[in-house]
Amino acid sequence: MRRLLFVVVGGALAAAALIGQTQAPAPTPTPRIFDPKRPPERELETGIADGFTLAAVGDLIISRPLTQTLPNDPGFAAVVRILQGADAAFGNFETTVVDPARVVGHPYPGQGDVSLVAEPAAVRDLVRMGFDVVSRANNHSMDWGVEGMRETTRVLDEAGLVHAGVGENRGEARAARYLETASGRVALVSMASTFSEHAPAMAPRGRAPGRPGLSPLRVTRSFALPPETLRQLQSVKALLAAPGKTCEVSSPSTLESRKKAEREASENVRFLDTEFRVGTQAAVHYEMDPGDLAEVRQAIRQGKQHSDLLIATIHSHDTGLGCEEPGDFLPILAHAAIDAGAGVFIAHGEHRLMPIEIYKGRPIFYSLANFFWSDILEPIPSETYEQNRDLLAKSFGEAGRPTDADLLAVWNAGSFDDPRVFETVIAVSRWQGGRVAEVLLYPVDLGYGRKLTSSGTPRLASPEMAQSILERLQRISKLYGTRIDIDAGVGRIRLP
């Protein structure tokens, strides 16, 4: 026992004696040597076969099958031929599949929105039109809850449509999904910055399970205001800071403090859960969640390493103060996605066409707007009627019994009464030598003002409308250094 104690104490004293002495530096780790035949960074290069074409469109807000009308609708038939003529066709599947005869899930329309719904036959119809791959992360992914999300997954899988952006946890929602083609393997990573509160998927942690949902890219919005406007906002905040006291006679000290607040403009004011700062002019700024951005970049990198071409896509309603200006985070995100391996970046969600940029020889579409815009939607849940009670009473009278069509008509009139909502393009990109050689832009008319049964269906635009659409896209894209030539009603971007 004494000998053991002596050994332990002696060891401790010896260790203590070493404290303060200069320790030998740790050996420098040997650089990791990769197989020169298989360098990792090579996998980030686009390797799709020469001549490969991708047809990309925006939001697929479809509710029923439409291909039965093709024999009598030449404009729609021309659009379908463009989709079918591409090696792959992409769109954003912005609805939930629910069979009216087999109700799965429950509607969650949220404040100020409706629960979109599509018949299963509409999905099979998209395949007949030529669609191969669709994104799922958007603000309507969870309109019918987790059950609706799962039912939509089942129907898409049965139809053979590759889809990404939702899953049983955040890892699944983030992950790339793959389309096998004769020209190579195409990957898709889908995310959204616009969604309802409980829509994002959650990762498991310890004993806490994950949560089904969509792949989120959370952004925080703030505003810049001129100094005088910011001072006015401070005055409003001070006035509302003490509810119930505005009826009291203000003391001299209270008046003086209020005047002082009006005279001074600090750099930041937080009001109504929003940050405001001083600036030379009014502007809106978005800050991406760094954790979400890191996970998205990793998903893109891995997806590209396992594919020949990767499509990165986001659903976002976050714009600048101008209706043709993307949110300031989107160029940063798009460039980061391309640097991580994406061969094309596609945004959707803003219901109007936004600029096109070419970055490192790869196209960025800041919004391809709508492609299908179905104004036939049923059933609409009772909560949506309750939220729009005053609007319906004003439109139809207290004794009125509005239908689903009536409700959608007055709801759309206040939000989407703009011809640009019904104007879009099909963007067909062609690859050559691992790079995009050209992008063709086919103008499309969704039939603003037509009857419900024919509006919202894409048709090639008339020559006059085609010229108008392309000239607007030409003008707003010029700010991003993109030249769009117009020839015979088709836009063309040539890349060196």
Contact at 8 Å (CB) between 455 and 331? no
Determine the pLDDT at residue 8.
40
DSSP string, 99-152: BTTB--S-----TT-----B-HHHHHHHHHHT--EEE--STTTTTTHHHHHHHH
pLDDT at 230 over 60: yes
Torsions phi, psi for 187 (to 5 deg) = -110, 155
Pairing state of beta strands 88-93 and 53-61? parallel
pTM value is: 0.88
Left, alpha or beta for 15 (phi > 0: left; psi -120 to 50: alpha)?
A: alpha
Give the length of the chain.
496
Determine the pLDDT at residue 287.
97
pLDDT in tens, 76-123: 999 999 999 999 999 999 999 988 677 778 999 887 789 999 999 999
Q: What is the mean pLDDT of the chain?
A: 89
Q: Domains of the chain: which residue ranges?
A: 43-201+211-218+289-374+418-494
pLDDT at 3 over 50: no
pLDDT in tens, 132-188: 999 999 999 999 999 999 999 999 999 999 999 999 999 999 999 999 999 999 999
Higher pLDDT, 5 or 81: 81
pLDDT in tens, 257-294: 555 554 554 568 998 889 999 988 999 999 999 999 99
pLDDT at 435 over 80: yes
pLDDT in tens, 358-411: 999 999 999 999 999 998 998 899 999 999 999 899 888 876 789 999 999 988
| Omega before residue 379 within 30° of 0, cis | yes
DSSP string, 384-444: HHHHTHHHHHHHH-TT----HHHHHHHHHHTT---GGGGEEEEEEEEEETTEEEEEEEEEE
The superfamily in CATH containing domain 43-201+211-218+289-374+418-494 is Metallo-dependent phosphatases (3.60.21.10)
Contact at 8 Å (CB) between 340 and 304? yes
